Structure 1
């Protein structure tokens, strides 16, 4: 009479051969491109970090064809760097490290929704498939860094005042402010694509999302006074909008500007000063600039 295999024997018999590929990436934009290529070429698991992407394929005939197609699609700077590892398991997740949020600041981490990472008091989950991306552009990260720097300085918007995210895009800055600060938040953008992206991202973040109200419109719709404002927009638009943005801020309120290159920062600082906004802090990343300014009490 044949014996029934025990649990460990069953597990061994059901084990499969897998191939893991690790691709270092110097830029977060490259990492995102690599992750998309992995998913397009049938990786069963993908884990993306700002400077590294890992993918797993089942090691059979079709899987190896998919791996070859993935390797052929790699950006030129990544073609010589992939590291491969074979392993055996009944489920590749058994040997898979838990994904971690991309910690942009001490108090704010970002995670694409497909990673399975849960939103929390310090984690924003984003739909990476939107037209505005997943928060990996330097200008977005600079804005978040400066918003968090204000928080670490114990800055708090005046109680009762709204906060504003002008040029909201995905709503990532709105969600960041909701995790850091008290008060309701206006997310303002003229694009229908932003409306759709913000709606999806608010649903993904039940802790921060209910505090955000989206309005479809341009900066001329601002009334204020606002206690804190974030603007991630091209420098030319910021310069054009400065009079309205400045008038919309309460005395002592702060505004964080990003979305422009280093060489444009001096002009924005000078123009802001004429509107009663004084430079408080600045940050730079890959030739992009971010500025934090304070509205003078008149």
Structure 2
């Protein structure tokens, strides 16, 4: 298949090379021609602009730093909009703004060009080894048609929903990761200041209930189905544990902004009379504030396990 690839940086250079290795005819473009030297040596051809690249291919991938670069490549002078032919397809692999990708989707649709967002997760090492998730938003039939090509880039291409939903999933994932990072920084400074060796602390907690499970797996037991009885661990006991931890932090003069916020949430939930429900019931408070109800029927959750 004739494919164009724009953006040969930390992630893109590996993904583009995998497409060559899979036997596709690749045309490449980057702000720096030297970034393309390995690809040209492997048989790719060079295009001087996004428009030139797009004019001779069926499928275009972009892997760029952010929304500003995507908009320039798409709509700038000699951009993709000027070069892509009706019926051709563009997958944007960038971590991008959902609003921007939806606007571009509408603009390109007027020219008969299909746009899908497909941000990736796995980091440079994952891009090199193909251990990558690709979260795709857009036309599901196009996702299915080009899934063999996506498989050449990463081992976990997944259709999320309409245009923009892939980008939303990526932002949810990354925001969760950095929020957890902040919480881990707090609790580890607490543990070490309380006298525990850092490596001993790491080895201890990674074998606990939280350490043994993947980050998002616990959501299927209470939060997603909205089922908080019978409790796996009561809110009352969770409140006690976090109270003890924040109390220790005060004794040792360790700031614990994230933990203090967690304690506020648990306290508010306790004041609702939820003390004997499962501790995850406190998550309902955020649903109320956001004005959204999250409920997944249990039969759909069971389908996930098949």
Bin of the TM-score, shorter chain as denominator length: 0.3 to 0.5
| TM-score of the superposed pair, with normalisation by structure 1 | 0.33
Larger relative strand fraction: 1
Larger relative helix fraction: 2
